[in-house]
Amino acid sequence: MMVIRPIRAEDYPELYDIAVESGHGFTSLPVNDELLQRKISRSEASFAKKVDKPGDEGYLFVLEDPETGAVVGTSAIEAAVGLDDAFYHYHLGKVVHTSRALGVYNPVDILTLCNDYTGVSELCTLFLRESCRKKNNGRLLSKFRFLFIAEFRSRFADRVIAEMRGVSDEDGHSPFWKWLQDSFFSVDFPTADYLTGIGQKVFIAELMPKYPIYVSLLSKEAQAVIGKVHEKTRPALALLQSEGFSNTGYVDIFDAGPTVEAKVEHIRTVRSSRRLQVQIGPVSAGQPYMVSNTKLQDFRATWLYLQLEEDSDIVTLPVECAELLQVSNGDWVRLARI
C-alpha cells in the first residue's frame, strides 16, 4: 500500500534522481540543485501558510513506499500561475482571408502568443518511476490532487489546467521547437526548456515572435505535432479527459503539447468525493477507492478496496490504512472511486 504525503527536505536526494530520470521536456523538475531545493522549501512554506485565496503557493507531494521508505514519484499543484513570472502559451485560432469579388474564402490557422491562463491553478510535476507503474499507483498519483483541491477549496482558483508534454525524441529534440530555433532563437530545445525550468524566462519575451504565426508557414514536421502529446504522456491525458478536462486550443510555446483545462466544479472526482467519519475495523474486498485525511501539513492519501454504502456517513478502514493516513476512530476522511 503506497502513501502520498507532502515533500520534506530529506527527500531531496530522491527528488534529484527523479528529475534526472524524467528527462527532457519535463520543465517543472530541472536537474539543478538550487532550484530543486528551492522547490522543496517553497512547498513546505506553502503548506504552513494560512491563506484564504490562491496566491504564489506550490504544493509538492511525493509517493512513498512505506515498507522501504523509498520515494517513487512526485505530483504537484500550483495555486495560481503567472502572478510573478509571465505564463506563456500559444493559442491556436483562425483568420479568414476572403474576397467576394474573386470568390475566395480561405480560413487559415494561426498561433498567437498569450498569457490567458494567468491566475488559474495548475496540475504539474507528475512523474512515477518506471518500476512502480503498476496497479493503481499512477491513477492515485494523479487523481488524489482532486481530493486535496476539494478539501482545501479556498486555496485554489475556479479553473485548473495541466500542460501535457509534447512530441520530442529521445535526445530531447522537438520538431516544433526546431522551426522556432532556426527562425528566431538559435538555441536547442533542451537548453530553452532548462532555462524555463530554472525561471529564466526573459529570453521568451525578447526573442519570441510578437505577431501571430501562420501555421502553414511552419515546416510540415512542426505542423504535424501541434496539439499532440508525447507517447509516454498519453495515459495521463486520457485520465484527465475522463475527469472532464478538455483542450480549448492552447499549446506549449516550446513543444506545442496541448494544455487541457476544467472548471473545478466540473471535475468528476471533485464532484463525487465524499467526506465520511472513520471507523477502524476489518474490511471485505470491494471497489477501489482513493482515501485522504483532512489535514493540511500532515496530509496523507492512499488507495484500497472498500465496501461502501451509498448513503452511509461512516467508512470502515483497516488498521494498516488508518495508520498510513494518521487517522483514528471518529476522524474525517475524504474519498472517491479511483
How many residues are recorded in the chain? 338
Instruction: List alpha helices for the chain, DSSP H.
Output: 12-22, 33-48, 137-151, 175-180, 189-197, 202-207, 220-224, 234-242, 268-272, 319-325
Q: What is the Cα–Cα distance from 93 to 224, expressed in whole angstroms? A: 16
Q: What is the Cα–Cα distance from 83 to 138, expressed in whole angstroms? A: 30
Q: Is 146 exposed, middle or buried (0-12, 13-18, 19+ CB in 10 A)?
A: buried
CA atoms within 13 A on the CB side of 191: 8
Q: Which residues contact 310 (CB under 8 A, 6 or more apart)?
A: none
Q: Which of 89, 91, 173, 230 is catalytic?
A: 230
Determine whether 230 is an active site residue: yes
Indicate which residues carry an active-site annotation.
230
